[in-house]
């Protein structure tokens, strides 16, 4: 998207802030969904509290949602990032490092989170259930597409909600279709899908107009800037385009 090779992508709040100054301008046009508890901090079996991580090694993919979540998890226990030893890795590598005993804990997401905990009989100390509203998936569109192809973007959002309606009215058929595309058996996929909270149009209107969203994005903005991941603070107002969820013709 930010290399100008596509018009719209599915991302997260933090990714939208991160890439703001790294390519062509783009805006969040929809908060699509969230899945609480899918990202978390897992520790070795002898570690039962976040406070016990002080001075220990924690694997995480830096400058990502997981890094941001780790800082918040530590903060909830009165710790700072400097109180632990950060081991930079991808989220998949974080699981591997933890399972092999190379680190004392890791911040990662499913299925790595459960895989890490099960393989080492670890303790899941913290998940996004403890920080609702932060790990949200969004649709991001290039600003030029918003200006020149707004009607087509509106159709995409309409289709998103028509698909949700279809799942609600025809779950067996819908899960059969989606499970095949994801290479999963139907029951496993259905259980996975039902963990998601899909935001309605009205919820999107509330989200876009809330102070909470602006504060959340500002927190992520500060985190990325302070860690040198972005060269200047993003203008939060330039990241949001609420027009597509405010149009009354949509359900």
> What would the pLDDT profile of 173-202 be if each residue is shown by its tens digit?
999 999 999 888 999 889 889 889 999 999
Cβ–Cβ under 8 Å, residues 217 and 183 = no
pLDDT confidence of residue 248: 57
> What would the pLDDT profile of 42-98 be if each residue is shown by its tens digit?
999 999 999 999 999 999 999 999 999 999 999 999 999 999 999 999 999 999 999
Q: Which pLDDT band, with edges at 50, 70 and 90, does 250 fall under?
A: very low
What is the arithmetic mean of pLDDT over 96-119? 95
What is the arithmetic mean of pLDDT over 96-114? 95
Which one has a higher pLDDT value, 203 or 111? 203
pLDDT confidence of residue 68: 94
- Cα 157 to its chain centre, rounded Å, is 19
Q: Which residue has the tokens 């707004």?
A: 150
Does pLDDT of 120 surpass 80? yes
Q: What is the mean pLDDT of the chain?
A: 93
Does pLDDT of 170 surpass 70? yes
Does pLDDT of 249 surpass 50? no
Does pLDDT of 36 surpass 90? no
What is the arithmetic mean of pLDDT over 114-138? 93
Rounded to whole angstroms, how far apart are CA atoms 251 and 248?
Answer: 8
Does pLDDT of 163 surpass 50? yes
Does pLDDT of 154 surpass 90? yes
Does pLDDT of 233 surpass 50? yes
List the structure tokens of 130: 């403890």
Rounded to whole angstroms, how far apart are CA atoms 85 and 65?
Answer: 18
Cβ-count burial of 36 within 10 angstroms (0-12 exposed, 13-18 middle, 19+ buried)? middle
Residue 3 backbone phi and psi in degrees, to 5: -95, 10
Does pLDDT of 251 surpass 70? no
Cβ-count burial of 31 within 10 angstroms (0-12 exposed, 13-18 middle, 19+ buried)? buried
Give the 3-state secondary structure percentages of the chain, helix then strand then coil, rounded to 5: 50, 20, 30
Q: Which pTM value belongs to this model?
A: 0.83
The per-residue DSSP string of 95-141 comes to HHHHHTTSSSEEEEETTHHHHHHHHHT-EEEEEGGGSTTSSEEEEEE
Does pLDDT of 20 surpass 90? no
């Amino acid at each position: 998207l930010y290399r100008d090779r596509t018009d719209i992508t599915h991302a997260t709040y933090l990714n939208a802030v991160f890439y703001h100054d790294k390519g062509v301008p783009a805006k969040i046009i929809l908060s699509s969904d969230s899945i609480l508890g899918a990202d978390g901090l897992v520790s070795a079996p002898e570690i039962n509290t976040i406070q016990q991580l002080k001075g220990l090694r924690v694997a995480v993919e830096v400058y990502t949602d997981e890094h941001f979540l780790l800082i918040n998890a530590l903060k909830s226990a009165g710790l700072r990032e400097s109180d632990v030893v950060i081991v930079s890795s991808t989220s998949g590598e974080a699981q591997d490092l933890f399972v092999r005993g190379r680190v004392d804990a890791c911040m990662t997401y499913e299925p790595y989170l459960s895989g890490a905990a099960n393989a080492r009989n670890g303790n899941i100390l913290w998940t996004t259930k403890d920080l609702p509203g932060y790990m949200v998936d969004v649709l991001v569109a290039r600003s030029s597409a918003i200006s020149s192809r707004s009607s087509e973007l509106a159709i995409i959002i309409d289709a998103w909600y028509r698909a949700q309606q279809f799942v609600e009215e025809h779950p067996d058929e819908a899960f059969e279709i989606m499970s095949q595309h994801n290479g999963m058996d139907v029951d496993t996929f259905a259980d996975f899908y039902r963990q998601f909270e899909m935001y309605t149009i009205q919820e999107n209107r509330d989200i876009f107009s809330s102070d909470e969203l602006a504060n959340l994005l500002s927190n992520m903005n500060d985190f990325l800037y302070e860690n040198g991941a972005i060269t200047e603070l993003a203008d939060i107002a330039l990241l949001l385009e609420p027009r597509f969820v405010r149009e009354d013709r949509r359900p």
